[in-house]
Amino acid sequence: MADIKNTQTQGGGGDDAPKKQASDEAKDQANAAFKKQDYPLAIDLYSKAIDIFPTAVLYANRSIAHLKTECVGYALNDASKAIELDKTYVKAYYRRAAAYMALGKFKQALKDFEAVVNARPTDKDAKIKHQECNKIVRKMAFEKAIAVDDTKKAIVDSIDIEAMAVENSYTGPRLENGKVSVQFMAELMEWYKNQKVLHRKYAFKILVDIERYLMNQPTLIDVTIPEDKEFTVCGDIHGQFYDLLNIFRINGIPSEDNPYLFNGDFVDRGSFSVECIFVLFGFKLLYPNHFFLARGNHESASMNQMYGFDGEVKAKYNAQMAEFFTEVYNWLPLCHCLNNRVLVMHGGLFSNDEVTLDDIRQVDRNRQPPDEGIMCELLWSDPQPQYGRSPSKRGVGIQFGPDVTDKFLAKNKLDYVIRSHEVKPEGYEVAHDGKCITVFSAPNYCDSIGNKGAFIRMKGNQMDPKYTTYEAVPHPDVRPMAYANQILSMLC
């Protein structure tokens, strides 16, 4: 990488002065929108300014706005464009490092931090960011060096539940004969509502039991909804526990007569992720044939390390449990097929028109999500309005058009797909002529977006989606991302 210096990007002069002035006016409006957290408007205005008079500053500013809307691929491209325009612009390297960190590409981020430290050898802030990123890279290298896949003992086999004593002072919910019960779930939700922690003995027991159950499940789960019964599909929850309780208040507590599917991204960002995941796992153990969970892109080690779940588990329990969660998440199913008519996955469709349901069934899911292929695209892809396919705005997966959806549905004899993964103003969005539906169940995402949440209900004999939307409810004064990796909060 070329050496960089701490200099300011200069605008044009002469005949360029009117363009520069118009561009600066749009930039000022964009900056104001950004401060108000209206990131889509800020992106539009930065784009307008770039069209008039492009500068490294504008691309770097639009990069951070894209990062705020989780369009990490776009953020990475803009930061790289800023560096291309001005290799001396230090902030652009910070922006690109932030995008790499958000993607879990820590080695690439470290290179950009090294460039900044070389340019600013006395900058304490730059040194701290470099050191934090370097710690992550070293930790990953160490874990890789000591890992021997063929002989590595599963964490579940090293946990001794019986040796964990329950203190007399503990007055919270207790498993009945080591099993989840209706009473336990009611007490657990009330316990969590009052910001208390489930005893580690019962927390570990739930994890042990859920892993052993999931290990015996297929990658694609076929779900039968009786003709006279209704079924609910929820999207991302993202650690918003009090909004999860509100879903149950509006739509009823899960039961054999009130089945649910939660479609991934149960954790991260929201700071009550531990509460969410144990309630969801508890209901799965209580009603294994009437409560379903699919893996999202945030049920992965790199996302959890950056966006808060790893830190939250360590704060409320310990590092062993955080590592155990990673092992459990590897066994979560990747998608569900409802009545042989509707496929539900977290992300979306594929870069290959030939993918079948049998291909999905054959995917080896017991691993961290790869950067390409069926598993990656199920977790990361997004729909687009135009035909064909495009590179992902996230930097992982693809974007797919209505023709891609049509071909997939026809090949696999399906009616439509449901996916999640994206914030929508109304909590849901119907695209591709009704054949690709997005549902997102975390209202006022990160306490800042202002979106509604939604869930979908359908009856077995019709399978027509019906939408319920709702606003966010109050929660205790713990901000989103409270447990996130500090380097990400420093960059964003």
What is the CA angle 404-391-336, rounded to 5? 50
Q: For 457, phi and psi rounded to 5 degrees?
A: -120, 145
Cβ atoms of 120 and 100 closer than 8 Å: no
Comparing C-alpha atoms, which of 57, 51, 98, 107 is closest to residue 74?
98
Sheet holding 335-338, edge to edge: 220-223, 335-338, 342-345, 416-419, 436-439, 428-431
> Which of the 8 DSSP states describes residue 371?
S
What is the CA angle 334-451-326, rounded to 5? 30
Q: Tokens standing for 308?
A: 């808060």
List of E strands, 378-481: 382-383, 389-391, 398-400, 416-419, 428-431, 436-439, 453-459, 466-470
d(CA 127, CA 118): 10
What is the CA angle 53-59-61, rounded to 5? 115
d(CA 73, CA 85): 19
Q: Label the pairing between strands 428-431 and 436-439.
A: antiparallel
11 exposed, middle or buried (CB, 10 Å; 0-12, 13-18, 19+)? middle
d(CA 394, CA 380): 8
What is the CA angle 268-103-111, rounded to 5? 130
d(CA 83, CA 90): 9
Active site residues: 298
Helix (H), strand (E) at residue 238: none
